[in-house]
Structure 1
Amino acid sequence: MQNLTEVSANATSTNSLSVIIKVCVVIPFFCVFLCCIGVMLHTFASHRQFLESSRYILFCYLLVNDTLQILSSVLLFLVIMAGMRFAIVFCAPLLLVSVTTSQNTPLILATMSLERYVAIVYPLQRPAAWQSHRIWIIILILCLVTCIHPLVDYSMGQHGPAVNVLTTPVLCQDRTLNTSPNRSFFKLFRNILIFAGVATVIVFTYVRILLETRKLRKDRASVSKAMHTVLLHGFQLLLCTMAFTHTITERLIMLHPNWLPGDVAFLNYFCFMLVPRFLSPIIYGLRDKNLRGYFRKTVLSCSNKLQVNVSNN
């Protein structure tokens, strides 16, 4: 969401039709996402056996992280579309949640890949750190790692001389909290490091998982399914990590004279922020046989209760 908030509100408010179209595209995705996440989190809360597996704990953490990211980013999206201004003291927490959760998603997916690698390579002697009752330590480390840079960036950022953190209304943008000229360089350097690190982990773990799968499962159907899962995971991770390169992609796309900065930022936000988080429940949830059965029961139960309530009214 930080790439969207760096675009001036004047560029997005000049065309009311464009604003309406963007809102009408984002809101349905937002509603469908919340419905899917609600069903999945209700399933996890109703069946405690899922919380005894490191894989499902990480998946649940991914759902919570993406929910916070979607809520904060859509709220920022609506605020920018409306051209609203707030004091920095109110913008900073919202931007912090959006930036932190956005950076956390690829790291969670890389951790899930490592968990699958450990589970396949060491099925009987799993390292203690990857056991279900200790996986929370890894989750806590991920939270701390992703929070360090935004906290330092916002707390030590340079504001304009006439900006009062408590009273001056400003556009709720990421660049408002730090106007340092060197900030863009360090931000790009950090994003490249994250992209390279996550890509290395993903390629290594997925290749090893695929090789181990070929050794342990001789039937072609299982191997084909594993390969399809790898491709789907890789596609989602590519979209998530591409969000880190928004500065480069926006500059390249804006070389086309007919593209407005606001439209480019919205395209990046929709393709690399919303779509990957919409794919998360499908890839990691609906493709899992155990989860799919419980999801179906939860949906049928909710629909039956809704029908009973409607008939009673």
Structure 2
Amino acid sequence: MINNSSVDGGTPLMRKITPNVIFVQVFVALLLCINFMLITTFFMKDVFFRSMRYLLFANTLLSDCLTLIITDLLLILVFFRITIQTFLCLIVFMLSSLYNFVTPLTLTAMSLERYVAICMPLRHAELCSTSRALQGILIIHCISFIPCLVVLFIFFSSVTDSFFKQNMICTVETFIVDRWHGHIRSAISQLYFLLMCITIAVSYVQIMKVAKAASGQSKKSTQKGLRTVVLHAFQLLLCLIQLLCPFIEAAVLQIDLNLYINVRYVNYIMFSLAPRCLSPLIYGLRDETFFLALKYYALCSPFKNKFKP
């Protein structure tokens, strides 16, 4: 169990704004601006609403935006040791836990969509329709909420009503009352990690088989789909490592507090912010249709005709 007071109360954290904090704020603001442009582009063209991959892409962007806002808010609250009421912390925790899983699960679904498009092209229109995409997004959110429900069920059964009347520095560790609670949370994360890795691996292998047998224009399209799945796999790996970071940080906390703070900062940059940079790259820049639409809506009026999609 991670003692919240030992991190945020027992040893005072520096309240002076440091270059690390400024860097994170600039990075988060930049990513939010980019994602906002991509989301605006998505809503400007009807063709994107009729494609499963673009609907899943939009879901990833919205999930990334919420994750960036929530995690940055938590970072500021912890850094400046600002306390909030328990029920507000509970809401933040639920949203944070939910969208920690939404992004990797959506990436897994996007890889499956590429698998269907390349390995089962005749059934792609049937299996990857708009209605199925919306159903898939709903299922993704339901599956993503299961770990949060498990943690909250254990938490509510372990604390008294007086706990909810307190003000606290909001961290995820607040809701891990006993060590075995952390073990259960770890087991759930590892199960999700395993299932998503297997799904990505199977999709990659099947697409690679088709790529070897394809020729001409078909081979070029298949190779592009294969590269997309590889990028999804790398992005998914970073997102899944993020799920394991709390347990690494808990072990480091037992060794040294300053080391724990540094490790937590590096983990936040590498496994929370960095994966959010790849979503715009994979579909915002590599996808020709979306990239042309992005340039058309991003440029000023005199240049729009040149890039009209």
TM surpasses 0.5: yes
Question: What SS does the aligned partner of 2:130 have?
Answer: coil
Q: Which residue does 1:271 correspond to in 2?
A: 270
The one-letter code sitting in structure 2 at the alignment partner of 1:72 is: I
Please tell me whether the aligned partners of residues 207 and 226 of structure 2 are also in contact (alpha carbons under 8 angstroms).
Answer: no
Please tell me whether the aligned partners of residues 157 and 180 of structure 1 are also in contact (alpha carbons under 8 angstroms).
Answer: no
Aligned pair in 2 of structure 1 residues 114, 163: CA closer, same or farther (>3 Å)? same
In the alignment, the residues of structure 2 paired with residue 226 and residue 206 of structure 1 have an alpha-carbon distance, to the nearest angstrom, of 9
Q: Give the 5 Å matches for 1:226-237.
A: 226-237=225-236
Q: Deviations over 1:43-64 (max 9, x none)?
A: 1111011110111111111111
Q: Which residue does 1:204 correspond to in 2?
A: 202
CA-atom RMSD, angstroms? 3.0
Of 60-69 and 152-161, the range deviating more from structure 2 = 152-161
In the alignment, the residues of structure 1 paired with residue 302 and residue 13 of structure 2 have an alpha-carbon distance, to the nearest angstrom, of 43
Please tell me whether the aligned partners of residues 88 and 177 of structure 1 are also in contact (alpha carbons under 8 angstroms).
Answer: no
Aligned pair in 2 of structure 1 residues 256, 200: CA closer, same or farther (>3 Å)? same
The one-letter code sitting in structure 2 at the alignment partner of 1:118 is: V
Q: Deviations over 1:77-130 (max 9, x none)?
A: 111111011111111111111111011211110111011111112212237453
Aligned match for 2:36, one of 38, 41, 50: 38
Q: Which residue does 2:136 correspond to in 1?
A: 138
In the alignment, the residues of structure 2 paired with residue 303 and residue 157 of structure 1 have an alpha-carbon distance, to the nearest angstrom, of 58
Q: Which runs of 5+ in 2 are unaligned?
A: 305-309
Q: How many residues align?
A: 300
The one-letter code sitting in structure 1 at the alignment partner of 2:273 is: L
In the alignment, the residues of structure 2 paired with residue 70 and residue 137 of structure 1 have an alpha-carbon distance, to the nearest angstrom, of 25
| CA drift at 1:241 | 1.1
Question: What SS does the aligned partner of 2:177 have?
Answer: coil
In the alignment, the residues of structure 1 paired with residue 153 and residue 124 of structure 2 have an alpha-carbon distance, to the nearest angstrom, of 40
In the alignment, the residues of structure 1 paired with residue 12 and residue 119 of structure 2 have an alpha-carbon distance, to the nearest angstrom, of 54
Q: Which residue does 1:301 correspond to in 2?
A: 300
| CA drift at 1:256 | 7.9
Q: Which residue does 1:280 correspond to in 2?
A: 279
Q: Deviations over 1:199-241 (max 9, x none)?
A: 1111110121222233234478666645543432222111111
Question: What SS does the aligned partner of 1:86 have?
Answer: strand
User: Greater relative contact order: 1 or 2 (C-alpha under 8 angstroms, separation 6 or more)?
Assistant: 1
Q: Which residue does 1:78 correspond to in 2?
A: 76
In the alignment, the residues of structure 1 paired with residue 273 and residue 140 of structure 2 have an alpha-carbon distance, to the nearest angstrom, of 21
Of 76-85 and 254-263, the range deviating more from structure 2 = 254-263
Please tell me whether the aligned partners of residues 210 and 226 of structure 1 are also in contact (alpha carbons under 8 angstroms).
Answer: no
| CA drift at 1:301 | 3.1
| CA drift at 1:164 | 3.4
Q: Does 1:124 align with 2:122?
A: yes
In the alignment, the residues of structure 2 paired with residue 14 and residue 255 of structure 1 have an alpha-carbon distance, to the nearest angstrom, of 17
Q: Identity of paired residues, percent?
A: 28
Q: Which residue does 1:89 correspond to in 2?
A: 87
* TM-score normalised according to structure 1 size: 0.85
| CA drift at 1:74 | 0.9
Please tell me whether the aligned partners of residues 157 and 177 of structure 1 are also in contact (alpha carbons under 8 angstroms).
Answer: yes
In the alignment, the residues of structure 2 paired with residue 77 and residue 126 of structure 1 have an alpha-carbon distance, to the nearest angstrom, of 42
The one-letter code sitting in structure 2 at the alignment partner of 1:242 is: I
In the alignment, the residues of structure 2 paired with residue 75 and residue 215 of structure 1 have an alpha-carbon distance, to the nearest angstrom, of 50
Q: Deviations over 1:256-297 (max 9, x none)?
A: 869621111111111101110122111222110111111111
Question: What SS does the aligned partner of 1:179 have?
Answer: coil
Q: Which residue does 1:52 correspond to in 2?
A: 50
In the alignment, the residues of structure 2 paired with residue 125 and residue 22 of structure 1 have an alpha-carbon distance, to the nearest angstrom, of 49
Aligned match for 1:69, one of 67, 71, 80: 67
Q: Does 1:216 align with 2:217?
A: no
Please tell me whether the aligned partners of residues 283 and 290 of structure 2 are also in contact (alpha carbons under 8 angstroms).
Answer: no
Aligned match for 1:148, one of 146, 149, 157: 146
Please tell me whether the aligned partners of residues 232 and 283 of structure 1 are also in contact (alpha carbons under 8 angstroms).
Answer: yes
| CA drift at 1:183 | 0.6
In the alignment, the residues of structure 1 paired with residue 244 and residue 90 of structure 2 have an alpha-carbon distance, to the nearest angstrom, of 23
| CA drift at 1:6 | 10
Q: Does 1:244 align with 2:273?
A: no
Aligned pair in 2 of structure 1 residues 251, 153: CA closer, same or farther (>3 Å)? closer
Of 258-267 and 62-71, the range deviating more from structure 2 = 258-267
Aligned pair in 2 of structure 1 residues 122, 38: CA closer, same or farther (>3 Å)? same
